[in-house]
Structure 1
Amino acid sequence: MGPRAGHRGELSPADLLVAGGGPAGWSAARACARRGLDVVLVDPRPDRTWRHTYGAWAHELPRSGPDALPPEVVAAQDVGWAIATRTHRLDDEYAVLDTPALQRALYDDGVRVVRGRVVTAGAGRAVLADGRECRAGLVADATGAPQALSAHRGRGRRAEQTAVGVVVDEATAARVTGGRLLFMDWRPLHGVPGWPTFLYAVPLGGGRVLLEETSLARRPGLPLPDLSERLRRRLLAAGLRGAEIPLDDPARVEHVRFPVDTPDHRPPDGVVALGAAAPLVHPATGFSVARSLRVATRLADACVARSDHPAVIDGSGGAAWARRAVRGGSAGIVHAMRGRGLDVLLRLPPGEVPEFFDRFFSLPTAPRRAYLGADDDVAESLRAMVWVFARLTPRLRGHLIIGSLAGPGPAQRP
């Protein structure tokens, strides 16, 4: 059963209004509704089907508690591998989510769903594009990278992750992957010089595997046609025939494009940002779903802990308490550290990227997990950066220092 869009005139007051019906918005709406809050979710297309493939480290998914995901949400789970100039077996298992099952799991019929678009919000009130208004104690901006409710949206060309993938059967994929879940395979089998890309190869369940050529980050994102050609060349080099690479079948092709360095949200009074709008996309991986699930629990618990619940919430007290719940005590520090890591990556000469990742994937488990995961462990994240720096060649250290000091660089050339 999917969400039912509300009709005109249903915008009675609510404790929480969520603008945006993606995973971040629905995670928060579901968690708050389950705790007895009156929740309205507004989205231009609330009945759309989610189509992207989502993944997370298995240990970060909520398996118990009020916001636990049902087991069927995990389509496949296995130990991950990374290949740079050497092959690295990762200690953590990687989970690929069943997107339709995730969408069904996050839907809650206690949420009032309204078809529309929130254009302004603040001081306990949200206004939709068609003029309708809704009074809400708290408004959540889950509109993604556009940050529709930010008081000052950042300008300029953003660094983007882009990818093109095809879905094939397990036997075909095994001829490329050796039957392994490839978190990153940086080998330049596509034979195309220039900006480095890697193969992301993950099982989807039901005997299907996604083979995806990925540009981790680039300003602007590497064009999708370039990635499509690299994927075709890579798979041919691995021994597949042209007829086994379904790039001309839209039902078996995935296109990915999203920014990984969305600027800080400037929320008006009474507004808190969630998901990519926050920004809560991991600058080093592009992951956000596991973090959105955790944030939803923290936000819901903070709402019910408010002394004036169930009125949370009359909009007069601002939303600083909600933003603290969403961001956590050290989230800003860790996010800034990872952002510097992104700057370093963007400034590395293409030929030296595999060597950099060889050092990174040689990290001990704890700091690597802290840097790649949804937690905000300052000490372990710093340990990861120091450990890698100490083991780089002098030339790579120089690039790291320049990237750390210079910040975001200019647009890259193909």
Structure 2
Amino acid sequence: MIVLGGGPAGRALAGACATSGLETTLVDPRPERPWTATYGAWADELPSGTPVAAVAPVTRAIGVEAHVLDRAYAVIDNARLQVPHPDVLVETGKGVRTVVGPRGTTVLLADGRTLTAALVVDATGAPPSRGRVEQTAAGVVVAATDAKALVAEGEALIMDWRQPPTTGVDWPTFLYAVPLDGDRVLLEETSLARRPGLPVAELRTRLAARLAQHGVDLSDVEEQVRFPVDLNRPAKLAFGAAAALVHPATGYSVATTLTLAPLVAAAIADALPRGPRAARAAARQVVWSPAAKVVHTMRRHGLRVLLAMPPEHVPEFFDLFFGLPEELRRAYLSDREDVAGATKAMAELFRGAPWRLRRTMVLAPQDR
């Protein structure tokens, strides 16, 4: 096995393949570079043993009104998650071309070397986002005592759609506030989805205005986020964001990749004695089962609704969503193969929406 890309998805899959008994090589241009992004997830989505830096037992969301959600939220410990599996060979390099043959795949690296394996999986992340719908964010890390006016100790604020006083573009953003450990909190102004992504400069201005309302000074922006959310399933064998595993309507993907990694590895190990073609088919079946494809299509419609919605309606829309029963919110947010649950969640959301929101839900344009 060769896994291209040493981010969370690539490391998880490479480690799972090694655990399944496969000789595995991980290829990354800078394998020792620390991960600087903050990876959060619902705590109940993470596989057992996932290292976490902080867990917030109380989770809130604010549209027009405040909602307390019955799910704990976790922030992943990057340093521990990044430690490679001891049986994975790590190669420094960048794959620039792959050639799939009947007996295996050859990877050409940028430095001219070639590597060959029965199977090669692309886990290098999302493709360039030019022209795509992007999620963007600008965040700052502050002392927990300074963040108390925005988020209480022991809680995570997933979304606060109340708009800051200073905005330069008529586009809704929200505050995301999560504990990083006992002493620090990440405060991040986030644009959920926009084509093109809302510029980081605008997000920084909004964050500064929002924090100023509560007497919090904005230091240098410590985290900037930009990635596409309207990803198409690739023809090549891929994993993580490269396989379009990003939730189209929320941008979450890490918990999904950590959960799927051992399942994909087991499918590959079981099918590989029948040849690389059988192994590729088995891996694709796990990553994109028929049910997962249907749910993904439904979530893509949810993304189109968000993009088409007038800015002033967005907080009300999320009030309706967070007012759904917990099992329906969970089905839409977390279970990528629950067709019935996702269908019921969307139907209940439509049923409870006023006509001005229903119109947007029905008439949202198709994907470009």
For residues 394 and 46 of structure 1, the distance between their equivalents in structure 2, rounded to whole angstroms, comes to 52
Shift of 1:212: 0.5
2:232 alignment partner AA: P
Q: CA deviation at 1:97?
A: 1.3
Q: 1:146 and 2:127 equivalent? A: yes
Corresponding residue number in structure 1 for 2:95: 118
Match of 2:190 in 1: 214
Residue in 2 that maps onto 1:339: 300
Q: Which residue of 1 aligns with 2:252?
A: 287
> Could you say which residue in structure 1 is the equivalent of 2:109?
128
Q: Which residue does 1:262 correspond to in 2? A: 231
Amino acid across the alignment from 1:259: P
Q: In terms of mean alpha carbon deviation, does 391-400 or 177-186 score higher? A: 177-186
Check conservation: 1:19, 1:142, Cα contact below 8 A: yes
Instruction: Name the aligned partner's letter for residue 95 of structure 1.
Output: A
Alignment of 1:162-241 (within 5 A): 162-179=136-153, 180-192=155-167, 194-237=170-213, 239-241=214-216
The residue number in structure 2 matching 1:301 is 266
Q: Deviations over 1:139-188 (max 9, x none)?
A: 111011128xxxxxxx8610000001111111110112244411000011
**How far does the alpha carbon of each residue in 1:105-144 deviate from its partner, in whole angstroms, 9 at most, with x for none?**
xx11211111111122222222222332222111111011
Return 178-187 or 19-28, whichever deviates more. 178-187
Quote the Cα distance in structure 1 between the aligned partners of 2:245 and 2:335: 9
- 2:58, 2:69 within 8 Å by CA — same for their partners in 1? yes
- The residue type equivalent to 1:232 in the other structure is A
Are the aligned partners of 1:27 and 1:293 in contact in 2 as well (CA < 8 Å)?
A: yes
Q: Is the 8 A contact 2:138 2:224 kept in 1?
A: yes
How many residue pairs are counted as aligned between the two chains?
362
Alpha carbons of 1:391 and 1:191: their partners in 2 closer, same or farther (altered >3 Å)? farther
Shift of 1:318: 6.3
Aligned-partner SS, 1:306: helix
Amino acid at match of 2:57: D
Any idea what SS the aligned residue of 1:273 has?
Answer: coil
**Can you list the C-alpha shifts for 1:72-122, whole angstroms capped at 9, x where unaligned?**
434233221100111111111111112222213xx1121111111112222
Question: Any stretches of 5+ residues in structure 1 without a counterpart?
Answer: 1-15, 148-154, 410-414
Matches within 5 A, 1:255-404: 255-267=224-236, 272-306=237-271, 308=273, 313=275, 315=276, 317=278, 319-403=280-364
State the TM-score, normalizing by the size of structure 2.
Answer: 0.94
Residue 39 of structure 2 is aligned to residue 96 of structure 1:
no
Deviation string, structure 1 residues 228-276 (Cα, Å, up to 9, x no partner): 0000000111x214xx321x3x6xx111111111222121xxxx21011
CA RMSD between the two structures: 1.8
User: Quick one: structure 1 residues 97 and 190, their matched pair in 2 at CA, closer, same or farther if it must change by over 3 Å?
Assistant: farther
Structural mapping, 1:28-47, within 5 Å: 28-47=13-32
Deviation at 1:293, TM superposition (A): 0.8
User: What is the rounded CA distance, in whole Å, between the counterparts of 1:89 and 1:169 in structure 2?
Assistant: 24
TM-score, normalised to structure 1, is: 0.84
Partner amino acid for 1:276?
Answer: A
Identity of aligned residues (%): 49
One-letter amino acid matched to 2:33: R
Q: How far apart, CA to CA, are the structure 1 residues paired with 2:39 and 2:267?
A: 27
1:245 corresponds to 2:218:
yes
Specify whether residues 177 and 307 from structure 1 end up closer, same or farther in structure 2 by C-alpha distance, changes over 3 A only.
closer
Q: Which runs of 5+ in 2 are unaligned?
A: none
Partners of 1:319 and 1:142 lie apart in 2 by: 14
